Amino acid sequence: MPRNQSTAAQRARAAQRKTGAKYTAALRQATTADASPAVFSLRELLAECTTSPEWTGDHPEVDAEWAPRMFDSALLGGPVPHKSVLLLTGALAVLGLSAELTVEAHHAFRAVVVACGGRRFELVLSQDDWVAELCLIPGCKSLPVAEALIPYCERQHLAERSETELAEMAWAWGNNRRQEFQSTPAAAHVGDQGDALIAAAVAQGAFSKVAAELVEGCYGGPDLIDDIYLNDAEATAIRHAIDNERLLLKERARSAAAHLRKLAGGLCVCGVTLFLAPEADVPAQYCSVRCASPAATST
């Protein structure tokens, strides 16, 4: 048996044989009983997927003609579609077969959530090939802004990141866009994902730093334009693109700040009217650095 292997599926099968209970109910009870998540490698999961016999039970969530082909996984805690595991293996291939996984949650025949290498994935158990990456925060069911590069959901958790984290994600995302537009560098832009980073930065009072990292990642360091782009026309086009992107980011920051202030009722917690521009690098819902400092020290 693989090291630290979960025995939830094994206990469920034993309970089914002993008591005649439905496998689904026995599996749910056995999975809930596990006190701590088991740790197993991607190699172990892939070996289990490729060598285990096909599960032949009745799927309680979908009709037989639509049910996915599954195997009974001791590691994941019950029947799982073969294709889902193969898709998960592809998504984690960059980490290597020794990458360690844990099961965060198992919802009978509906879904299983696994964590690996600072990423979370949901495998839908009623379909053959539905694997979605989730926000990095345990328990969150939302999608991340940009998977591994911006691994937090836009609705809540991205705005809770620190200035340092947001700046690191901004540069990584900008650099990703730069690679994508390598053949037409002046056409690069930060996209909706960059806008999400700017909105989060406005909430943290980190607009200047995050915007600068986005632009540098996307176009290269402004002081190195002549060294990077030897053609004068191309260098001029890049400078124009940088200036335009900076203006757009300021507009998006002001829009995000206005939204936050509206949610706050237009007043700071101290009662002062909110008016600071995002470039002041004060969280939009506060009237000054001093007023925001208690919140800043608690994040």
State mean pLDDT over 28-37: 50
The separation between CA 120 and the C-alpha centre of its own chain, rounded to angstroms, equals: 7
pLDDT band at 5 (very low <50, low <70, confident <90, very high): very low
Among 58-72, 101-115, 200-214, 262-276, the minimum mean pLDDT is found in: 262-276
Q: Has residue 238 got a pLDDT over 50?
A: yes
The separation between CA 109 and the C-alpha centre of its own chain, rounded to angstroms, equals: 24
Q: Has residue 84 got a pLDDT over 80?
A: yes
pLDDT band at 224 (very low <50, low <70, confident <90, very high): confident
Q: Has residue 33 got a pLDDT over 50?
A: no
The string of pLDDT tens digits covering residues 122-151 is: 999 998 889 999 999 999 999 999 988 999
Q: Has residue 7 got a pLDDT over 80?
A: no
The predicted pLDDT at position 29 comes to 53
Question: Which residues make Cβ contacts (< 8 Å) with residue 182, sequence separation at least 6?
Answer: none
Q: Has residue 256 got a pLDDT over 60?
A: yes
- The pTM (predicted TM-score) of the whole model is 0.79
Q: Has residue 26 got a pLDDT over 90?
A: no
The string of pLDDT tens digits covering residues 187-221 is: 999 999 999 999 999 999 999 999 999 999 999 98
Q: Has residue 153 got a pLDDT over 90?
A: yes
Mean pLDDT, the chain, integer: 87
Q: Has residue 69 got a pLDDT over 60?
A: yes
Is the separation of the CB atoms in 16 and 58 below 8 Å? no
H or E stretch covering 124: strand 119-124
The predicted pLDDT at position 25 comes to 52
The predicted pLDDT at position 96 comes to 94
State the CB neighbour count (10 A cutoff) for residue 70. 23
Residue 269's nearest CA partner among 293, 290, 285 is: 285
The predicted pLDDT at position 133 comes to 96
The predicted pLDDT at position 217 comes to 96
Question: Which residues make Cβ contacts (< 8 Å) with residue 7, sequence separation at least 6?
Answer: 30, 74
3-state secondary structure of 31: helix
